[in-house]
Chains A and B, each alone.
Chain A
Amino acid sequence: LAKTTQPISMDSYEGQEVNITCSHNNIATNDYITWYQQFPSQGPRFIIQGYKTKVTNEVASLFIPADRKSSTLSLPRVSLSDTAVYYCLVGGFSGGYNKLIFGAGTRLAVHP
């Protein structure tokens, strides 16, 4: 199972770009990288997913280098409503694919 490591917390200000990096050194060939956002008292919700290179959607971008041992979630021009905990999750066809285990997550605080 690919173990993930993220910074425990980050601070930013409204309007700035925020980059959160996740390390997953033992990622398997068929593993996907998925990021989730969690607000207090709510279940996590899907933000973005990728396998390699770069993926962009309406809320974020995901950068994955060629070796796939890390990934970076990029949130452009954050607002106060982006204050949340962000988790990266690695899983796929590799052994233990079904056993989706979360890391500790990154607590992002956006200040006015």
Chain B
Amino acid sequence: NAGVTQTPKFRILKIGQSMTLQCTQDMNHNYMYWYRQDPGMGLKLIYYSVGAGITDKGEVPNGYNVSRSTTEDFPLRLELAAPSQTSVYFCASKLRDPNSPLHFGNGTRLTVT
């Protein structure tokens, strides 16, 4: 199993551009999450999904959109990128069981200039 795979690893965007951060998992996990981590800070939840077709907002959803058309994929869309969205983005997934831990990808480092 590859686990949780995020692409790209790095990206530089200009202000106002848009992009999609890709996340896919091959563990048949129902639940998937997007977090952002600013330098020296903790993880902030952006959006999460409990299954295909179901998504919900986290702590910091503004400026982002998600979709979950399949169990495997949970892309994060940035529209009109702003410097405040410069961060490292982590995708995670887990089983439905409450004692199932999160499995994280290696992150996407995004810079908006």
Number of interface residues of B (CB under 8 A): 26
For window 81-112 of chain A, which residues contact chain B by CB distance below 8 Å? 85, 87, 89, 91-93, 97-105
Contact A43 B106 (CB under 8 A): yes
B43 within 8 A of A: yes
CB neighbours (8 Å) of A99 from chain B are 45, 48, 56, 58
Distance in Å: Cβ of A63 to nearest Cβ of chain B: 18
Segment of B65-73, B75-83, B96-104 engaged in the interface with chain A: B96-104
A61 within 8 A of B: no
Tell me the number of A-to-B contacts counted with CB atoms below 8 Å: 62
For window 50-66 of chain B, which residues contact chain A by CB distance below 8 Å? 50, 56, 58-59
**Complex formed: what's the CA distance from A51 to B97 in Å?**
14
B74 within 8 A of A: no
CB neighbours (8 Å) of A98 from chain B are 31, 48, 50, 56
Other contacts beyond A41-B107, A44-B104, A98-B56: 14, CB < 8 A: A34-B102, A41-B88, A42-B106, A43-B104, A43-B105, A45-B104, A46-B103, A85-B42, A87-B43, A93-B98, A98-B50, A99-B48, A101-B58, A102-B42
List 27 contacting pairs A-B, 8 Å CB cutoff, sorted by A: A34-B102, A36-B101, A41-B88, A41-B107, A42-B106, A42-B107, A43-B92, A43-B104, A43-B105, A43-B106, A44-B104, A46-B101, A46-B103, A49-B99, A51-B99, A85-B42, A87-B42, A89-B102, A91-B98, A98-B48, A98-B50, A100-B33, A100-B102, A101-B58, A101-B59, A102-B35, A104-B42
